[in-house]
Structure 1
Amino acid sequence: MAYTDDAVQAKLSALNETQEGIVTVAQWIMFHRRHADRTAQLWMQRLKDSAPNKRLSLIYLANEVVQQSKARKKTEFVAAFSPIIAESTSAAYKGAPYDIQQKLRRVIEVWRQRVIFEPPVQDHIERNLDELDKTRAPGKKATLGGSLFSSGSSVPQELQPLVPLQTALTKADNASKSNVTHAYNEYDKLIDPANPVPTPPVHAARLSQVLKNLASAESAVAESIKSRRELITAMEKMLEGHKATLSKDEAAHQELDTRRTGIETKKREVEDAIMRGLSTEQPQVPTGPAANDPRRRLPTAVASTDNANGGLLDEPQRPDVEGLTPPPVESITPVGTPPPALAAPTTTGATAGFVPELPPSHDEPASGPAALEALAAANILPQKTQRDDSGDDDGQGQANGYEGGYYPGAAKKRRVGSGVAEQDFADFATGDAYDGIDADVADMLRRD
C-alpha cells in the first residue's frame, strides 16, 4: 500500500492490542522510514484523539518502532519521536487508570535501561510523569484496588459477577468509539463533493479502505452492544433478586410495626390501670396495739391518744410506789401469845364452820354494808348456831388449851357474842335476822 496520511490513519485505527497486530503495523511504518517525521505527527494526533486503552496500544507501537530502529541502527524514527515523545507519554499517562499508568511506567523504564532516547529526553519524560503524580487530587489517588469494576479486593462480593462484564464492555466501547469516529471521517472525505475525484484505481482503493473501516466500526459496535446486553442481563437478574428481597423486607417492616403498635397499646393500658388503682386506693387505716401489747392496759385517755396518732406510743414510765408494810404483830396478837404451830391446820367437825381471821389491812378500803351483811349471813350465822349447840354459853369459843403448843390446825376464831363481835351481830339477836339484806338473797336463805 502506498504511503499516505489516510493509509497511516487507517493503520493506526485498525491497531489492536495483540503483539502480532502491533508488530505488523510497526513493520509497515518502518518500511516507509522516509516519512518518519510525518508518521510521528500523525501518530501523536491519533494518540490524543484515542481512549486510554487505545493510547497504551499506540505507545506500544512507538516502542516497537524506536527499539527496532535502534537495533538496526536506523535513527530516523528515534529522531522523529524525540521531540514529541515527552508530550505524548504525558497525554497517555494523564487520566489513565492505575494499571495503565503502571504499564506506561514499565515501558519508560525499558527506554532508560536500553538508552533508546538521549538522557535529556528521558529525564523530560520522567519529570512530566512525576509532576502528574504530584498534582493528582488526594481523593483520586490511585490505589492497588483499581477502579470499581476492576478485579481488586475493594469490589463488594455481590458485585463480583459484574466485574468481568463491565471490563469487557469498557474495552468494546472504547474500540467502537475510535473505529466509528475514524470510519465517519473517512466516509465524509470520500463523499465530499469539494474533494477532487481521484483516478479510478486510487478511487477504488479508497472505497475499499472506507468499506473496511466501516466494517471494522460495525463489528466494534456489535461487540459493544453484545457486551452491554450481557451486563444489562446480569444487572436485571441482580435487580430482580434485590426486588424480591425488598418485598420481604417491606413485609417484615410492616409486621414489626404492627407488633410494636400492639405492644405500645398494651403498655399504655397497663400503665393506665396502675394509675387508676393508685388513685382509687383507700388510705391505710392505722391499727391499734396488738392483743398482747401491754399498752392495751393503759388508761382510756392514753389509749385514745395512741389510736388518734395512728401508731403505738412509748410505754410511760412506771410511777414510784411505796412498798406495802405489813402491820405489826402486836396489833393482832397480844403480847405473850405463843407462836403458831408450823403444821397445817386440820378441819374437824367442831371447827369446820369457823373462818380464820386474817390480819386487818389498813390499806384496804372499807367494805360496803351489803357485803358485810351477806358475809355475816352466809358464814358467821352458821358458826354461831353451831357454837350454841355445842354448849358454849358464854359466847367465847375457846380452842383446846395453849398448853404444849397450838392445837393442830387451830387458829384464832372470830368470837361471836363477845367484844366487838357482840356489837357487830347485835342486830341478829332481836328481830328478823335477814333485815337489811336484799329480798332475793333473803328468800334464798330462808329456802335453805
Structure 2
Amino acid sequence: MAFSEERLVTKLNGLDETQDSIVGASRWLLSQHKEIKQIAACWSKFVTKTTINTRRKLLAIYLANDVVQQAKHKRMAEVGAAFGDIMPGALSRVYPELSLEMRQKVRRVVDIWKQRQVFSDSVLKSVYSQLKDEPRPDSPAVAPEMQNLVVLFNQLTKSQAGVNSSKTRFDSSVEALDPSSAVYTENYKIIQKIGQAAKDALQISLDIRQKAIKELKVMLDFQNEQLQQDQNMISEVDAVLVAKDPLNSQPLSAEEAEMVPVYEASDGSDSDTDKSDVEGNDTRRRKSSTLSTEHKDDVKRLKSIAVEPKSDTGERADTFDAATYEPTPAEVAANSPMAVTSSIQDLLSKLAS
C-alpha cells in the first residue's frame, strides 16, 4: 500500500500508551521506509502543530523512538538519518510546551538514544541543546463563561484516544478478515465485538460533542445580545455628537421661521381674567377708602357738635383740643351708631327749618 499523509495522521491520532499500539504503528511506518523522508517530514509537521495536545505529541515521540531503534536493529540507516535531520528542530518546539513530568519522559528517551547510539554525536548534541528546563509560560486565565467548555474539550481530548484506537483496531480486523477461511464465522463474531467497542467509544465522544455544541450556542446567543447592545450604544453616542456639533447649527429658513409662533409681550399677569379681577379689586378698595374717609369726617363733625356745650347766656364755651379730649361714658353712648344717626337727622331738620 502506497504511503499517504492522511494514513500517517490517522495512525498518530490512534496511538495510546499500550505497547501493541506503538509497535503496530511502528511496523507500518517501517513498511513504508522507501518514503522515509516524507514520513519524517509529516511526523515533524504533526508534532509541531499548535492544535495537537501535548499527550498526543508525547505518544508521537514514543512512536519515533520505536521506529529509529527498530531501524537500527534492522540496519536501515536511512530511517535514522531522516529522523535525525528533523528531530532537533521538532523537539525545540515541542519540549517547552510539555509539563515537567512529560519533559522527564522525553529526556529518558533521549538518554536511551545516546546509550544505544541511535543517532550520531552531532545530532545528539543538537537534541540535548533543545532540552532546556525553562519555566513554562503561564497559561492565560480562563474566563468564567469558558470553564464549562474547557472541561468538555478536555473530556473530548481524552475520549479521542479510545475512539482512534478502537477504530484503528476495527479497520485492521476487517482488512484481515478472510471470507474463504474455515473460521470466518468465528472471526466475524470477534469483529462484531470490536465494532461494538468502537461504537461505544464513538458514542461517548458524540455525547460530549453535543454538550459542547449546546454550550457554544448559549455563548453565541449571549454574544449576539451583547453585540446588539454595543451597536445601540454606538448609535446613541453618534446621535449626541451630531446634535451637539456646532457645524450642524444652521439658521432657520424663511419657511421655517413663518411656522414659529409669535407671542405678544406679557404684563406679567397669568391671564386677562386675572387682570380684570385685579382691576376690580383696586376699584373696590378705592371706593371703600373714600367712604371710610367720608364717614370719619362726619363722625368728627358730630363729635365736635356734641361736645360744644352752650353757656347760660347762649354763647359757646371756650374751644378745646379734640386730639387730647377723652369722652365720658355718657358721651360714648351718645356717639354710638344709633345716636350718631339720630343726631344727623336732628341736624338735617334744623338746617331745613
TM-score range, shorter chain: 0.3 to 0.5
Q: Which has the higher contact order (CA 8 A, sep 6+)?
A: 2
Q: Return the index of the structure with the highest Cα Rg.
A: 1
TM-score normalised by structure 1 residue count: 0.34
More helix by percentage: 2
Question: Structure 2-normalised TM-score?
Answer: 0.41
